[in-house]
Structure 1
Amino acid sequence: MELPPAPTGADAVSPQAIDGVVMARLYGEPLFAMPNDLYIPPDALEVFLEAFQGPLDLLLYLIRKQNFNILDIPMADVTRQYLRYVDQIRKHNLELAADYLLMAAMLIEIKSRMLLPPKKTDEGQEAEDPRAELVRRLLEYEQMKLAAARIDQMPVLGRDYLRAQVTIEQAIAPRFPDVEVADIRDAWADIMRRAKLHQHHRITREQLSVREYMGMVLRRLQGERFVEFRDMFDVTRGHSVMVVTFIAMLELARERLLELTQAEAFAPIYVRLAYQPS
């Protein structure tokens, strides 16, 4: 029986490595022991269990954690625990500890004032509890902290939900601009100016019916897709006929039997039947 060839190169493993335990791999190569020149910084393995926003946050945490009455704070116990935490901060970040040291000095001052016999005010009243100002600050801070927590729990765009976007495909249909009253007035004034060119000095009495001319306008538009507004008037028949025709067209437009439209702003006005397909 022939034995398989022995591994060579990267596949070969020394007898000592076979009995060892691989601790890690560096660039694909197994490490069976820690390098002698390996340096681990002291701060690399630090673990911060609590992160506080400031001295008041730390002080409130110590009070609430031990169920102390915030209106009757045991200053000795709280100050002792507070100073223990400040000592830990001073070892690593002296600048950060400055604010905490100021609060520690305030706690020590309050405790010292509590040890002295109380003095009455000039009015003969009992002096205020040395802890009163600190209690007020703690209660205000706790209210603001709870309010900030409630605001943070509210849904936030981009964090808790995304704005829905819907694309609606609309049919490509031309929308003609609405005809303004001023445009109709200008068109009517232009027709009246043209009518003056065909004036006759003939005085007659003619009975004109708006309802009759409404029917004439409808018959004029039958079978027509669009008719220019100015072509709806017969300037040779005088002002009275044009006035009645104009009133008839306004009545038809009010009853939604007639449509006035333009191709674009300041363009000529066109007339068509409202029920006729475009």
Structure 2
Amino acid sequence: MSATPPDAPPAPGAEGPAPAAPVPTELPPPATPDPTAPEAVDAVAVARLYGEPLFALPQDLYIPPDALRVFLEAFQGPLDLLLYLIRKQNFNILDIPMADVTRQYLKYVEQIRKTNLELAAEYLLMAAMLIEIKSRMLLPPKPSEDGQEPEDPRAELVRRLLEYEQMKLAALRLDELPVMGRDLLRAQVAMEQSLVARLPEVSVDDLRGAWADILRRAKLHQHHRISREQLSVREYMGHLLRRLQGVRYLPFEELFDVSRGTAVVVVTFIAMLELTRERLLEVTQAEAYAPIFVRLAYTPA
């Protein structure tokens, strides 16, 4: 016996309401879960739509225009924006056309003021400064007391722009230098620890102590050698006579060569005493504690 579906129209010639559908004796199988649906616990939202997490991109790739906004922070501050407007239009930075630059600057500030009021506050301060400079340029300059020409109202702004440009270029040059992790990668080699001979680590203090011990042992093995020098008194007597020839007198201390050592000085002194005993030299002194002079006791032919 077949049952008529509840939504089917009544058969022709049939009267009265359609018979009721039979009650199923078994429950329908559960719906197969969608494999693309993410789990609510471990899944990470790829975006947020009106504050709600979005775990997968929509199939039609449609996002309402007012639900997604992208901001590109192309400028790092008011000075960066001003410098961009000046350099892009090839304006002379020493002769800035304040009307054009101020108009373009205010147009940009109006755009960011609609989205980020805190970010626009700093730009509004610079806008007020630009308007003030423009108004000062429209007014006749005040004569200075010392008779010099009044300062250009744009001078302070130009100075700040030039300093900022120098710092920006320096930062770009520093950024071009190779950086570990960005431009260079540190080479790493895996080595089996069991195959590598582990040598003891030596510190600077260990080397210093070993060197001091070597020096101490070297001092214990030093030898003092005594050499005998043959010095002749007769030879130095002749040396003194040759030195005093042609000289009226010499100071006593100039006869001794102290650089050759004590032995030579002693032999020279003995040679002088021997020549004095033989009356070949005269040792004279004008008065007590006066300098002592030595001269020949005879006049050579």
* TM-score, structure 1 normalization: 0.48
* Structure possessing the higher radius of gyration over alpha carbons: 2
- Structure number with the higher helix fraction is 1
* TM-score, structure 2 normalization: 0.45
Structure number with greater CO (CA < 8 Å, separation at least 6) is 1
